């Protein structure tokens, strides 16, 4: 699909926010799904494969899809050059997204860095289903915490933690989450963007016996399950000692946290 670029602006020193005018099929995207982007060449950078990019927001009324991305490699450096009025070739939506338990009364979302992009649509979706949503956003520094306004406008309670004051320390974060659960029991956990956050969600989910899901990031070739370039190991069932291999693009990118092997 060829999409016109509406805007492509910096949100801080590392991340840009890309907004595209999209055809109807793209507007069916659900939280956790992604698109495969044909990143343009830039200078000496010549991206060969498409790049998977998590959905940040879909606006059916405005016919827009949006992406939040960190400019750090050949593909994203090319994306960063896109100007309003230019055209980007995208494929999607693809992959399996998030599934909320029924009923879901309190969803806790914990994300770090670019993982915030994947969590934002989930928070909006859960709030629209009537769930209370708490979003804990972790970053290296306060100026790298993103999506606060978007999440709050969606009805989520937002708590920011970062490395500079030590509030993102995993022990302090666990104490924070336990306190939230004591005051308002959590019945769904979701995470993205950090191995240590994945392990924390696994630990608490198993202890509290509540559902949890993780959105994984992985390099991939086709994004349609044919090339097997994005295969990762998973436990066959929660608590199992046996592993199986699954395609992140086709079987995910959203998986049961209790079956996900930390990296």
Contact 115, 194 (CB under 8 A): yes
Q: Rounded to an integer, what is the distance from CA 34 to the centroid of its chain?
A: 9
The secondary structure of 37-98 as a DSSP string is EEPPPBTTB---S-EEEE--EEETTTTEEEEEEE--SHHHHHHTT--TT-EEEEEEEESB--
The residues with which 138 forms a beta bridge, in sequence order, are 112, 161
Backbone phi, then psi, for 3, in 5-degree steps? -120, 135
Contact 245, 226 (CB under 8 A): no
Euclidean distance between CA atoms 237 and 242, whole angstroms: 8
Euclidean distance between CA atoms 136 and 40, whole angstroms: 34
Query: What count of residues does the chain have?
Result: 263
The residues with which 109 forms a beta bridge, in sequence order, are 135, 190
What does pTM read for this prediction? Answer: 0.92
Query: Which CATH class name applies to 106-259?
Result: alpha beta
Mean pLDDT taken over the chain: 92
Q: Is the pLDDT of residue 4 over 80?
A: yes
Count CB neighbours of 48 within 10 A: 8
DSSP 8-state class, residue 211: E
- The string of pLDDT tens digits covering residues 158-199 is 999 999 999 999 999 999 999 999 999 999 999 998 899 999
Euclidean distance between CA atoms 105 and 133, whole angstroms: 8
Asked if the domains 2-94 and 106-259 are classified in one and the same CATH topology, the answer is: no
Specify the pLDDT at position 49: 87
Angle (CA) 12 18 21, round 5°: 155
**What is the DSSP pairing of strand 57-59 with strand 64-70?**
antiparallel
The H-or-E segment that residue 35 falls in is: strand 34-38
Tokens of 4: 């016109």
- The string of pLDDT tens digits covering residues 66-83 is 999 999 888 999 999 999
Contacts of residue 248, defined as CB under 8 A and 6 or more positions apart, other chains included, come to 216, 218, 220, 230, 231, 232
The domain spans of the chain are 2-94, 106-259
Euclidean distance between CA atoms 236 and 31, whole angstroms: 25
CATH architecture assigned to 2-94: Beta Barrel (2.40)
pLDDT grade, residue 58 (50/70/90)? very high
Euclidean distance between CA atoms 90 and 37, whole angstroms: 5
Backbone phi, then psi, for 44, in 5-degree steps? -85, -10
Q: Is the pLDDT of residue 18 over 80?
A: yes
Contact 204, 89 (CB under 8 A): no
Tokens of 58: 């879909």
Specify the pLDDT at position 247: 96
């Amino acid at each position: 699909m060829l999409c016109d670029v509406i805007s492509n602006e910096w949100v801080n020193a590392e991340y840009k926010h890309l907004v595209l005018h999209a055809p109807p099929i793209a507007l069916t995207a659900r939280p956790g799904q992604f698109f495969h982007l044909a990143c343009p060449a830039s200078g000496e950078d010549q991206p060969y494969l498409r790049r998977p990019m998590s959905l940040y927001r879909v606006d059916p009324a405005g016919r827009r899809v949006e992406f939040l991305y960190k400019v750090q490699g050949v593909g994203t450096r090319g994306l960063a050059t896109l100007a309003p009025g230019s055209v980007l070739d995208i494929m999607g939506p693809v992959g399996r997204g998030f599934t909320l338990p029924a009923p879901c009364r309190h969803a806790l979302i914990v994300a770090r860095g670019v993982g915030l992009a994947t969590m934002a649509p989930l928070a909006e979706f859960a709030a629209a289903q009537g769930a209370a949503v708490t979003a804990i956003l972790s970053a290296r520094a306060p100026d790298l915490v993103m999506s606060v306004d978007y999440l709050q406008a969606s009805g989520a309670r937002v708590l920011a933690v970062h490395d500079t004051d030590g509030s993102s320390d995993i022990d302090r974060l666990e104490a924070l989450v336990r306190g939230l659960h004591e005051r308002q029991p959590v019945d769904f956990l979701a995470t993205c963007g950090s191995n240590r956050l994945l392990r924390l969600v696994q630990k608490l989910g198993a202890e509290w016996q509540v559902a949890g899901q993780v959105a994984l990031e992985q390099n991939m070739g086709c994004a349609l399950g044919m090339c097997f370039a994005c295969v990762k190991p998973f436990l066959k069932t929660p608590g199992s000692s046996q592993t199986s291999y699954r395609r992140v693009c086709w079987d995910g990118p959203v998986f049961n946290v209790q079956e996900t092997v930390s990296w």
